[in-house]
Amino acid sequence: MANRPSYPGTPRWVKVFGIIVIVVVLLVVAMMLIGSGEHGPGRHAPSGDAGGQAAPSTGMADHAPPEGGRG
Amino acid sequence: MIMTPRLRKFALAAHLTCSVGWIGAVAGYIALDVAAATSQDAQTLRTAYLAMELIARYVIVPLALASLLTGLLMSLGTKWGLFRHYWVLISLLLTIIVTVVLLVETQTIGYFADMAADPTTSGDDLRALGSTLVHSVGGTVVLLVILALNVYKPRGMTRYGWRKQQKERKVSQP
């Protein structure tokens, strides 16, 4: 009785692709940690002490930034 | 269930239209995003943010969801399957990730558009908003990777796909 052929294994391109994805994800996480740590539209909301400028006297406070990321 | 050749062609045409259209729509979006990132003119910023929201909400998101749906139909309705080949599985995972990031990003773009639509928002406030370039350019790179995977279809079966293939061979050659 012939033996059942065994699984040939994961192709090399999948392994290389996986390594690239891991490196990219680590780089993004590192950049987020090195940066201000904020990742969202909230970082664009005016802060009174930013650059020594007063907070703009506009309706920005009326616009609550949504949760989530931004680029 | 394997689709008939006629239905398969129709599904493929729909999938190609949505997928390539998605990339094209993002290219148009990036042009506005670059304007939002570089312009100092309040009128340009206001226009760019409003147009970005319209393109994202009414063109990019529907195309992304349609691309995901037609891709699922193509996989399940053809011999490729959804979990049999690495290129299909990776394409599916990347499409899901890009779509989720897009849906989250659409909220941010909506916030920018709300700010731009508000006549009381000053030019300084608009300039402080910035752009979504990192996400839009990053998303385009991922979409191009998915496109390349779908065109080249690199060899390689998953363990599940290989087992299924062996089973089918056993049935066809008893």
Residue B40 Cα, gap to closest chain A Cα (Å): 16
Residue B174 has pLDDT above 90, yes or no: no
How sure is the predictor about B11, in pLDDT bands with cuts at 50, 70 and 90? Answer: very high
Place of tokens 């910023």: B45
Residue B130 has pLDDT above 90, yes or no: no
> In chain A, how many H helices and how many E strands?
1, 0
Provide the mean pLDDT of chain B: 94
DSSP state at residue B85: B
- Cβ-count burial B37-63 (b if 16+ within 10 Å, e if not): bebeebeebbbbbbbbbebbeebbbeb
- Give the per-residue pLDDT at A65: 55
Interface contact flag, B105 A68, Cβ < 8 Å = yes
3-state secondary structure of B54: helix
CA dist B18 → B25, B59, B128 (Å): 10, 10, 34
- Give the per-residue pLDDT at B59: 98
pLDDT tens for B136-165 read 999 999 999 999 999 999 999 999 999 999
- Give the per-residue pLDDT at A44: 53
What ipTM is given for this predicted complex? 0.82
Q: What is the pLDDT along chain A (71 residues), one digit of tens a residue?
A: 556 678 889 999 999 999 999 999 999 999 888 876 555 555 555 444 433 333 344 444 445 555 544 45
Interface contact flag, A14 B112, Cβ < 8 Å = no
Residue of A4, A10, A12, A13 to mutate, interface with B, max B Cβ within 10 Å: A13
* Closest-CA residue to B39 (of B27, B29, B49): B49
What burial class does residue B67 get, using C-beta atoms within 10 Å of its C-beta: 0-12 exposed, 13-18 middle, 19+ buried? Answer: buried
Residue B118 has pLDDT above 60, yes or no: yes
Could you tell me the sign of the dihedral formed by the alpha carbons of A33, A37, A41, A43, in that order? negative
- Give the per-residue pLDDT at B126: 92
Residue B133 has pLDDT above 70, yes or no: yes
CA dist B142 → B14, B90, B99, B155 (Å): 20, 11, 11, 20
Task: Report the C-alpha gap between A53 and A49 in whole angstroms.
Answer: 6
Q: Residue A41: which of B90, B111, B134 has the nearest Cβ?
A: B111
Residue B163 Cα, gap to closest chain A Cα (Å): 8
pLDDT tens for B70-92 read 999 999 999 999 999 999 999 99
Q: Does the beta carbon of A11 lie under 8 angstroms from any beta carbon of chain B? A: yes
Task: Report the C-alpha gap between B80 and B149 in whole angstroms.
Answer: 13
The structure tokens listed for B163 are 């087992």
Bridge partners, B139 (sequence order): none
